[in-house]
């Protein structure tokens, strides 16, 4: 279809299309690493699917980065990658070790407000090896994760947070970090909803910002 477009339109359209290689590589690597964790793989696939939709809220050249990071964000749960037992950090360390671009490693390290959980685990200095940037890509990754359940199903942010607190338990690092992390998760959802609203996409607002 692209071949039939005028040259000007073609270049504009190609700019909007994710470069497939990094996304395909991320999907392949995630499926390989999470092969023995089918629920976690289903969740990662669901997050990547949500992130694909949320590429509407990031710059065209950042779309592949967002979707690739969405695929990879939870690989640190794999037993083979476990070093610190803090999955955002373990995933980012593995990706850095095998040569993935720093922006991907940084997004994985900081997805869903990991910087609020790291101090509870006394891993904040280790996480500082990965710069955090609060921007449309990190917002979209966090919202995609926080609106996807453990089997890849769509959830509201409230449902997801309740589920997380129930699964991890009241004494978990996630529960102890929750008072600091929750405002960030909600603010990211509101920012993403605003970006969708600004381009006339209103259907997901209630589900995302609820």
C-alpha gyration radius of the chain: 17
Interface residue with Fe ion among 33, 68, 74, 155 (CB under 5 A) is: 74
Neighbours of 191 (CB within 10 A): 19
Q: Which is nearer to Fe ion, 73 or 96 (CB)?
A: 73
> How many residues at the interface with Fe ion, by CB under 5 A?
2
Interface residue with Fe ion among 22, 27, 51, 145 (CB under 5 A) is: 145
* Window 150-169: residues binding Fe ion (CB under 5 A): none
Q: Which is nearer to Fe ion, 121 or 201 (CB)?
A: 121
Q: Which is nearer to Fe ion, 74 or 204 (CB)?
A: 74
Q: Using the rule CB under 5 A, give the single segment among 84-92, 141-149, 155-163, 191-199 that binds Fe ion.
A: 141-149
The Cα 146–Cα 187 span in angstroms is: 12
Min CB(67)–Fe ion separation in Å: 14
Min CB(74)–Fe ion separation in Å: 4
User: Could you say whether residue 90 binds Fe ion (CB under 5 A)?
Assistant: no
Min CB(44)–Fe ion separation in Å: 7
Min CB(7)–Fe ion separation in Å: 41
Q: Which is nearer to Fe ion, 77 or 100 (CB)?
A: 77
Q: Which is nearer to Fe ion, 139 or 145 (CB)?
A: 145
Min CB(168)–Fe ion separation in Å: 13
The token pair at 21 is 């290689």
The string of DSSP letters for the chain reads -GGGS-HHHHHHHHHHSPPHHHHHHHHHHHHHHTTT-HHHHHHHHHHHHHHHHHGGGS-GGGHHHHHHHHHHTTGGGSGGG-SSS-HHHHHHHHHHHTT--HHHHHHHHHGGGHHHHTTTTT-HHHHTTS----SHHHHHHHHHHHTB-TTS-B--HHHHHHHHHHHH-TTSHHHHHHHHHHHHHHHHHHHHHHHHHHTT--TTHHHHH-
Q: Using the rule CB under 5 A, give the single segment among 31-39, 53-61, 72-80, 155-163 that binds Fe ion.
A: 72-80
Residues in contact with Fe ion by the rule CB under 5 A: 74, 145
């Amino acid at each position: 279809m692209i071949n039939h477009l005028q040259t000007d339109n073609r270049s504009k359209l190609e700019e909007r299309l994710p470069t497939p290689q990094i996304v395909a590589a991320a999907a392949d690597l995630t499926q390989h690493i999470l092969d023995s964790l089918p629920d976690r793989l289903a969740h990662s696939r669901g997050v990547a699917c949500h992130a694909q939709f949320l590429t509407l809220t990031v710059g065209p050249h950042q779309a592949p980065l967002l979707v690739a990071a969405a695929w990879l964000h939870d690989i640190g749960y794999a037993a083979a990658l476990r070093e610190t037992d803090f999955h955002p950090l373990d995933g980012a360390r593995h990706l850095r070790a095998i040569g993935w671009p720093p922006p991907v490693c940084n997004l994985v390290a900081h997805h869903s407000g990991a910087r609020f959980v790291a101090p509870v685990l006394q891993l904040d200095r280790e996480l500082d090896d990965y710069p955090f940037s609060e921007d449309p890509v990190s917002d979209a990754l966090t919202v995609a994760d926080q609106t996807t359940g453990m089997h890849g199903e769509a959830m509201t942010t409230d449902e997801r947070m309740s589920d997380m607190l129930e699964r991890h338990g009241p004494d978990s690092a996630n529960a102890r970090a929750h008072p600091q992390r929750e405002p960030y998760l909600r603010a990211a959802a509101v920012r993403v909803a605003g970006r969708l609203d600004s381009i006339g996409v209103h259907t997901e607002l209630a589900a995302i910002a609820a």
